[in-house]
Structure 1
Amino acid sequence: MTSEHAEVQVRPGVEGDLEALTDLYNHYVRETPITFDTAEFTPEERRPWLLSHPEDGPYPLKVAVDTDSQEILGYATAGPFRGKPAYVTSVEVTVYLRPDAGRRGIGTLLYQALFEALAGEDVHRAYAGIAQPNEASTRLHERFGFRYVGTYREVGRKFGRYWDVAWYEKALRGS
């Protein structure tokens, strides 16, 4: 990408990334309230998720890779916001970084690539739900023009307590 981030390449996710992506996600399942999944996944269980993010279409998967080691540092995705037909032009976006990959601009690179991919799609709005507290994610989304629209209070229970989720939206086209 830029010379400032020359050690990181952002590319579409591919099937060969499945194990590393599953391991990365499972960290958040085990250790954090960032995702409300509560049981770890095997790569085979995550395969349908990976296949739901083709290179073309409104649900891309972008992967950040260390150019020297080829290790995955993080990923960003867009997915369906809700399952009903009228929501088809809305997507939910998310970013996950390896725990040691924060504060290097990788989330920014991933979102730049994701929103570039979405620019050519028939997508009207992007939404992001951020389990609270998560200042880094809030700052990233605000930097990309997301605006706060509300909080679902105590909407998820994990690790024996309830968590709030703040919702953000971003106009993508036609707004």
Structure 2
Amino acid sequence: MIRPATPADAPAIAAIWNAVIRDSLATFTTLEKDPATLAAQIATGTPWWVACVNDAVQGHATYGQFRGGPGYVYSMEHSIHLSNSAKGMGMGRALMAALESHARAQGVHVMVAGVSSENPEGQAFHARLGYAECGRILQAGHKWGRWLDLVLMQKILT
């Protein structure tokens, strides 16, 4: 089941996101997410969805403005993460459908994905959803003693 996130979902969202941060190169950050901070973001109305199985959060997706300023008001960047047990079950696709539907209703023109070059599964996932690579920033990130490229992918929504 896909539903809007509530502040009560923040600990589960943080657990999923922090596993990605600690255990993979899918994100460049090494700073783990704080459940209280996530709960506050959700409470302010940040667009956020969760995928649940038997009421347990197994994934989440959110989006926000790609860059600051009025010239970018119709360009958004999203984040999506699934628990390892939820991968391959269609939850990612369902989360993205909810996210993109909401974004279209808000007049969003383009959705951007910033995907680590060390995350070929993430690149393939986005390509299957109609995202196309539109740029690559070489050595944009550094984690675990390695320089990592950032692959930018986009989908025109309107």
| TM-score normalised by the chain length of structure 2 | 0.92
| SS at 2:106 equivalent | coil
Identify unmatched segments of 5+ residues in structure 1.
Answer: 1-8
- Which residue, 50, 66, 88 being the options, matches 1:63? 50
One-letter code of the match for 2:57?
A: I
Match of 1:80? Answer: 65
Q: Distance in 1 between matches of 2:40 and 2:152?
A: 26
Q: Provide the C-alpha distance between the structure 2 equivalents of 1:63 and 1:145, rounded to a whole number of angstroms.
A: 22
Task: Give yes or no for contact 2:25–2:119 (8 Å, CA) kept in 1.
Answer: no
Q: How far is 1:95 from its partner?
A: 1.2
Which region of structure 1 is more displaced relative to structure 2, 33-42 or 106-115? 33-42
Q: Could you tell me which amino acid in structure 2 is paired with residue 140 of structure 1?
A: F
Structure 2 matches for 1:69-148, cutoff 5 A?
A: 70-148=55-133
The residue that corresponds to 1:166 in the other structure is 151
| 1:50 equivalent among 42, 46, 50 | 42
**1: CA distance, partners of 2:149 / 2:123:** 13
- Kindly state the Cα deviation for residue 112 of structure 1 after the two structures are TM-superposed: 1.1
Change (3 A) 1:127 1:13: same
Q: 134-143 or 157-166: which moved more?
A: 134-143
Using the TM superposition, give the Cα deviation of residue 90 of structure 1 relative to its aligned residue in structure 2, in angstroms: 0.4
**Per-residue deviation, 1:80:** 1.3
Q: Percent of aligned positions with the same letter in both sequences?
A: 31
Q: What code does the residue aligned with 1:41 have?
A: K
Show structure 2 runs of 5+ residues with no match. Answer: none
Q: Name the aligned partner's letter for residue 35 of structure 1.
A: T
Shift of 1:24: 1.0
What CA deviation, in whole Å up to 9, does each residue of 1:54-84 have, x standing for no partner? 2xxxx52111000x2x111101111110112
- RMSD over equivalenced CA pairs, Å: 1.5
**CA gap 1:150/1:64 in 2 versus in 1, 3 angstroms:** same
Equivalent residues, number: 158
Q: Report what 2:27 is aligned to.
A: 35
What letter is aligned with 2:7? E
1-structure distance, mates of 2:103, 2:33: 28
For each residue in 1:120-145, what CA deviation from the matched residue of structure 2 results, as whole angstroms up to 9, or x when unmatched? Answer: 11211111010012222112211221
Superposition deviation, residue 117 in structure 1: 1.4
Q: 1:34 corresponds to which letter in structure 2?
A: A
